[in-house]
Amino acid sequence: MRIDGAVVVITGASDGIGRATARLLARKGAAVVLAARRRDALDEVLRECRRAGAEALAVPTDVAEAAAVENLARRAVEQFGRIDVWVNNAAVGIVAPFMDTPLEDLRRLLDVNVMGVAQGTRAALEHMLRQGSGVIVNVSSILGEIPVPYASAYSMSKSATRALGVSVRAELRLAGASDVHVCSVLPPSIDTPYYRQVANYVGREARPIPPLYAPERVARTIAAVVRRPRAEAVVGPAGRVMVMKHRAFPGLMERVMGAYVARAHLSRRKIPPTTGNLYGDPGLPATVGGGYHGRLRTAGRRAGTATLLAGAAAALIRRRGQ
């Protein structure tokens, strides 16, 4: 699919991956429809896209609400006449042991991360099947492939996103809709405001699990998937190595990743329990990290990757030696 001239709907467009994707596709000539809960942040992205020369529309949307997602699709079609690409990116997170995760918070996360993707996919398919073409990109995660401690809710939701893509792709093939595609993108840790906005019940500040990539890296992967659709795309070489190792040695990698995450994911800084941005604005400034990056990148991100791979290799050697 050509990006130039395409109409693209992006959820979670106010910061991080969504904002980076909107900026990139706007520069490439797409008309972008921006969706997120915060109108002020959306308006910033809207101005950025228009400065890039793109047509753009901002529609404040809570993807957990089916009527809001239907309204988003309707507004896109009213404004631009069609929907060529739909990027399901909006997501929230919880850092907590599973037994300490409040069930109401778990339901809210699943409403956003799973039902939001399902509702977005349905809304997009209604138009794409009539058009005879289109690309849906669901932003999953490496954690949808390799679940880790303290992220049971988030890992579960991202696994569900991948499963939805597999099922819908099969149904589209059976229906002969060969020009309608559903693709999953699996990023590792990304430098976004997510880590400051996440709900947290573990008592220590969350930090990204190395390796840490910029959101532009994910945006470029999304653009590549739009141009040449494929079932799944893992972001970054370290992410691809982790997925490959997990598929070859699942039990081993789960143990290695579990130990690694327990050491790398939580800082020593104590914080009180918080629902973060699960239910709305967490009270952070509108432009934390420029509303774009989390400004979390460190010189140790390559060392973190090396540590992970070295640990996996050492464990594998020990296992083979037994």
Q: What is the mean pLDDT of residues 129-151?
A: 95
Per-residue pLDDT at 5 exceeds 70: yes
Averaged pLDDT score across all residues of the chain: 89
Q: For residues 172 and 182, is the Cβ–Cβ distance under 8 A?
A: yes
Residue with tokens 């596709």: 25
Task: Identify whether the C-beta of residue 235 lies closer than 8 Å to the C-beta of residue 213.
Answer: yes
Question: Which pLDDT does position 322 carry in this prediction?
Answer: 46
**pLDDT value of position 210:** 81
Q: Are 156 and 147 in contact (CB under 8 A)?
A: yes
Burial class (CB in 10 A: 0-12, 13-18, 19+), 256: buried
Amino acid at 299: A
Q: How far apart are CA 247 and CA 74, in angstroms?
A: 40
Q: In sequence order, what are the residues at sequence separation of 6 or more whose Cβ sits closer than 8 angstroms to the Cβ of residue 13?
A: 19, 21, 22, 32, 34, 35, 36, 42, 45, 89
Spell 116-135 as b/e; 16+ CB within 10 A means b.
Answer: bbbbbbebbbebbeeeeebb
Q: Does residue 268 have a pLDDT over 90?
A: no
What secondary structure does DSSP assign to 164-207, as a single string?
HHHHHHHHHHHTT-TTEEEEEEE--EE-STHHHHSEE-SSEEE-
Mean per-residue pLDDT, 186-208: 92
162, 144 contact by CB (below 8 A): yes
d(CA 253, CA 66): 37
Nearest to 80 by CA among 62, 54, 60: 54
Q: Which residue has the higher pLDDT, 318 or 112?
A: 112
Q: Please, what sign has the CA dihedral across residues 211, 86, 37, 23?
A: positive
206: alpha, beta or left? (left if phi > 0; alpha if psi -120 to 50)? beta
The pLDDT of residue 287: 38
Length of the chain: 322
Work out the pLDDT band at 292, boundaries 50, 70, 90.
low
**pLDDT tens readout for residues 19-38:** 999 999 999 999 999 999 99
Q: Residue 284 above 70 pLDDT?
A: no
Closest CA to 197 of 121, 41, 87, 91: 91
Look at residue 290 and tell me whether its pLDDT is greater than 50.
no
In angstroms, rounded to a whole number, what is the distance separating the alpha carbons of residues 313 and 308? 9
Show me where the domains of the chain are located: 7-321
Q: For the domain 7-321, what is the CATH code?
A: 3.40.50.720
Whole-number Å distance between alpha carbons of 66 and 125: 14
Evaluate the omega torsion of the peptide bond into residue 211 and state whether it is cis, within 30 degrees of 0: yes
Using a pLDDT cut of 90, give the percent of the chain over it: 72
> Quick check: 298 pLDDT over 50?
no
Report CA dihedral (305, 307, 310, 316) to the nearest 10 degrees: -100
Q: Which helix (H) or strand (E) holds 34?
A: strand 31-36
Least confident piece of the model among 23-32, 56-65, 152-161, 234-243: 234-243
**Residue numbers annotated as active site:** 154
